[in-house]
Structure 1
Amino acid sequence: LEKGRIVSDEEIKSEIATRHPYKSWLANTQLILEDLKPVEPRALRRDVSLLDRQQAFGFTQEDTKLLMSPMATTGQEAVGSMGTDTPISAMSDRSKLLYTYFKQNFAQVTNPPIDPIREELVMSLVSFIGPRPNIFDLVGNSRRKRLEVRQPILTNGDLEKIRSIGHTEDRFDTKTIDITYASNEGAAGMQGAIDRLCERAEAAVAGGYNIIILSDRQLGPDRIAIPALLATAAVHHHLIRKGLRTSVGLVVESGEPREVHHFCCLAGYGAEAINPYLAFDTLLDMHKRGELPAEVDANEVVSRYIK
């Protein structure tokens, strides 16, 4: 109407595309995790064995043999019966992981396809970690960096790159917050531990940190881990209530998640990336003991599991 003529689709897109120097903005703000220098992964507590950790996080033979092993061998989820005669978690007399209280709605077909492997033209798992830009402040966003990762599941090496990113990139500063608490407080102490966790996360953002790692690596005989999903959701919603959520990225370092459903729940409740370190350690131990095919080397075990 302003020009008194019909403007073609191509002309409109061309005008918008040339309005700002988007290419140079991207070059100045794009930081890719793979381009960062390798960092040696942090060691776990030596007084806690692999079996102790597996028992603490509820690993079962079904988890390792029927779910994780096929993923590490074939790069695909295990295929099994859709039927189950077990009671729902809320009515079970057995202790269940928090993830089992949540169910996914199943879709046989989606449009566009949710398949980053066979439909990579329309779907991607590329994720960004760090402060979220204001979509209405286009010029301001041209000066803000965000960390790009190929997919949201991080290897131990990837996580250490993020943990030490402040040494190479002055626009990022990472804070690791322990999500375990003293075992002598028992179950009753969890509420207080969650409150303290939220306060520490808020203080970290106020102190200038823009990436927070929620970690349960300190789990041991003297330390109980808050369920990763509960800790993530608590921090996520606390920061939303305080108006701080878009100022920080949340990364979860936990021995608890090992199934695709676990990762989906964590992502749904605020995690931007997840490092399932115990799943990796378990698979590498299985490979070392000859429980996985010999033709699949240790590095391939981890990459296929992530795939």
Structure 2
Amino acid sequence: AVVSDRPHVLYNYFTQRFAQVTNPAIDPYRESLVMSVEVYLGRQGNVMAERPTFFQNVSTNNRLLRVDSPVLHEQELAAVKSSGLLTVELSTRYAHAEGPGTLEKRLSDLCYEASNAVRNGAELIILSDMPPTAQAQMPFGQRTDGEGFVGFEKDQLAIPPLLAVGSVHHYLIQQGLRTQASIIVSTGQCWSTHHFACLIGYGASAVCPYLALAHIRKWRSSKQGEAKADGQTVEQCQENFRSSIVMGLKKIMSKMGISVLESYRGAQIFQCIGLADEVIEVAFKGTPTTMGALTFAGVANESMLFHRRAFPELEDTEAAEKLDFAGWYKYMKNKGEFHLNNPDMARALHKAVRQNSPMSYEEYRRQIMDGRPVTAIRDLLEFASDRQPIPLAEVEDALEISSRFVTGGMSLGALSREAHEIIALGMNRVGGKSNSGEGGEDPLRFKTIEDVDEDGHSPSFPHLNGLRNGDSAASATKQIASGRFGVTPEYLSNAQQLEIKIAQGAKPGEGGQLPGPKVDEYIASLRNSVPGVELISPPPHHDIYSIEDLAQLIHDLHQVSPEAKVSVKLVASAGIGTIAAGVAKANADVIQ
């Protein structure tokens, strides 16, 4: 978001963090019985007590309100309001005409209002950007116009809900009042699992996404929605949305080894890219941040850009039939956000590989290097040397560099047998290292191929062409993942390097799953399993719960294969240096 030339919602400046080695992940699907998303609203009392204790308040009878999910629809929010808890609703809206400089002052006023409310006995603070006219016109749960949408006002802006809840949360902590009240957010700017996780992670106990629910009602009432709903009612469609969000929250919590939502609330398990220190100090204090850029004025400007798209008359332009395509998730040529991985780049890569010509490669290089928008922080970096270039005669030969080439770990099952073996053959020829991925390897591949005829065919590998005597199809690096499929003494002793996969960059904190239809007789024999049965690698290694456990596994692997190096695969994130130091002390030869 920070390098984009388009406005983004504030959530997009935050990324989730996850546990590695210690505090291992939970399997949210198969260990769901130990997970809970129940929320308790009201005065929390002394959180350090061994059992719940509450501030003395006779009028509320010392009670908390339990809700089964942090995702509330409008009727449930109305029920919470009438539950007997002392509730104060604060508006997060402010005048558009006052300009971007108003945001910081309005935020300060909001924090002061929340503090006063708690001091006056409020047990529940509702931060709402719902237009007051919409609240007055219709009862809760039906506040939509004839088209199914909430009626917004063009002269009113809303404080980004994440900024509002984070600021109030930290201000109440500073005032020593945080445990005396719960915070609920009623917002139209919340629709994805990440949005809910951010709001809860920065202090909200529950969220009412009224605009997302209004969209669902509008969709269900349309002909398209009626055809696709498969007979489900509006209530069932809304419940499907809530269930999917709850499952997503469990998955996010599980990556940190957190099993209950009450422990995730306010935990701030995020890192930020692109917000200035002045914003972090007010709303997200303690969050690791890099590349500070967006100030309060910048946040306000991005909110105003979104608002003007909804109300183009503010800029004296004609209203479009549809809102602009943002392109945050899906690439569309010449529309929305630019995506580095796009069809043009893929076609150029395929052409470069198939034609094997300098011109084709130059076109691919141009696609990814020249004339494109900045898409990552690394695009902003430049080499700045303080010395003269090294003479070319002292530079290592290009052929020698290939010995440092390695491939990513892709298992046999994710890749076809032919692709898996060809990658290993190619890397062995140039002196690099291919990675077996998890799932074992055919013992036939451990031996050098010596039965190749003049046409490049081998009876041992009849499905491959272009072979040479002396070729090897063995993966130099063999992976040990959480499922331990195919990990045998023979497998380990035929490796140059043994890789313990703790986490994977594409899906950190998650395990793996090979569907049953992919488990044929050949793959089942390699993984010591049964054909047709799905194979699951859980998120954690169930024998690694500390650095000491990891050290024991590294020691055992060194005993089985003394000549092989042992590497540990981690994922770079905030705090990775501390984890890497522990892995080094566990006697790993390589940290990836």
Task: Give yes or no for TM over 0.5.
Answer: yes
Give yes or no for the alignment of 1:243 onto 2:176: yes
Q: Corresponding residue for 1:255?
A: 188
Higher relative contact order, structure no. (Cα contacts within 8 Å, ≥ 6 residues apart): 1
When normalised by structure 1's length, the TM-score is: 0.65
- Which SS does the other structure have where 2:70 is aligned? coil
Verify the 8 A CA contact 1:113 1:122 in the aligned structure 2: no
Amino acid at match of 2:9: L
| Aligned-residue offset at 1:221 | 1.4
Which one of 121, 125, 144 corresponds to residue 37 of structure 2?
A: 125
Q: Corresponding residue for 1:233?
A: 166
- Determine the C-alpha separation between the residues in 2 that align with 1:176 and 1:291: 37
User: Percent of aligned positions with the same letter in both sequences?
Assistant: 36
Amino acid at match of 1:227: P
User: 1:139 and 1:209, CA in 2 relative to 1: closer, same or farther beyond 3 A?
Assistant: closer
- Determine the C-alpha separation between the residues in 2 that align with 1:212 and 1:180: 15
Which one of 175, 179, 182 corresponds to residue 88 of structure 2?
A: 175
Q: Corresponding residue for 1:155?
A: 73
Verify the 8 A CA contact 1:212 1:251 in the aligned structure 2: yes
- Which SS does the other structure have where 2:214 is aligned? helix
Verify the 8 A CA contact 1:255 1:278 in the aligned structure 2: yes
Verify the 8 A CA contact 1:232 1:252 in the aligned structure 2: yes
Q: Corresponding residue for 1:302?
A: 238
| Aligned-residue offset at 1:271 | 0.3
| Aligned-residue offset at 1:108 | 10
User: 1:165 and 1:102, CA in 2 relative to 1: closer, same or farther beyond 3 A?
Assistant: same
Q: Corresponding residue for 1:279?
A: 212
- Which SS does the other structure have where 2:204 is aligned? coil
Which one of 106, 114, 126 corresponds to residue 213 of structure 1?
A: 126
- Determine the C-alpha separation between the residues in 1 that align with 2:5 and 2:16: 23
Verify the 8 A CA contact 1:133 1:144 in the aligned structure 2: no
| Aligned-residue offset at 1:139 | 8.1
Verify the 8 A CA contact 2:2 2:13 in the aligned structure 1: yes
- Determine the C-alpha separation between the residues in 2 that align with 1:119 and 1:159: 30
| Aligned-residue offset at 1:131 | 1.3
- Which SS does the other structure have where 2:34 is aligned? coil
- Determine the C-alpha separation between the residues in 2 that align with 1:97 and 1:232: 15
Amino acid at match of 1:99: Y
Q: Corresponding residue for 1:90?
A: 2
Q: Corresponding residue for 1:267?
A: 200
Equivalent runs, 1:138-149 vs 2, <5 Å: 138=51, 140-141=53-54, 144-149=62-67
Verify the 8 A CA contact 2:44 2:54 in the aligned structure 1: no
User: 1:121 and 1:301, CA in 2 relative to 1: closer, same or farther beyond 3 A?
Assistant: same
Q: Corresponding residue for 2:528?
A: none
Verify the 8 A CA contact 2:92 2:127 in the aligned structure 1: yes
Amino acid at match of 2:234: A
Amino acid at match of 2:122: Y
Amino acid at match of 1:275: C
Verify the 8 A CA contact 2:43 2:179 in the aligned structure 1: yes
Give yes or no for the alignment of 1:196 onto 2:109: yes
Amino acid at match of 1:264: A
User: 1:114 and 1:176, CA in 2 relative to 1: closer, same or farther beyond 3 A?
Assistant: farther
Residues 267-286 of structure 1 deviation map (CA, whole Å, 9 limit, x = unaligned): 11000000000000011101
- Determine the C-alpha separation between the residues in 1 that align with 2:51 and 2:15: 38
* CA RMSD in angstroms, aligned pairs only: 2.3
User: 1:119 and 1:138, CA in 2 relative to 1: closer, same or farther beyond 3 A?
Assistant: closer
- Determine the C-alpha separation between the residues in 1 that align with 2:161 and 2:42: 20
When normalised by structure 2's length, the TM-score is: 0.34
Amino acid at match of 2:217: L
The gaps in structure 1 that reach 5 residues or longer are 1-88, 167-171
Structure with max Cα Rg: 2
Residues 59-95 of structure 1 deviation map (CA, whole Å, 9 limit, x = unaligned): xxxxxxxxxxxxxxxxxxxxxxxxxxxxxx1111100
Amino acid at match of 2:74: N
User: 1:237 and 1:286, CA in 2 relative to 1: closer, same or farther beyond 3 A?
Assistant: same
The gaps in structure 2 that reach 5 residues or longer are 56-60, 132-151, 244-592
Q: Corresponding residue for 1:69?
A: none
Q: Corresponding residue for 2:338?
A: none
- Determine the C-alpha separation between the residues in 2 that align with 1:230 and 1:279: 19
| Aligned-residue offset at 1:223 | 1.3
Amino acid at match of 2:69: Q
- Which SS does the other structure have where 1:91 is aligned? coil
- Determine the C-alpha separation between the residues in 2 that align with 1:244 and 1:108: 34
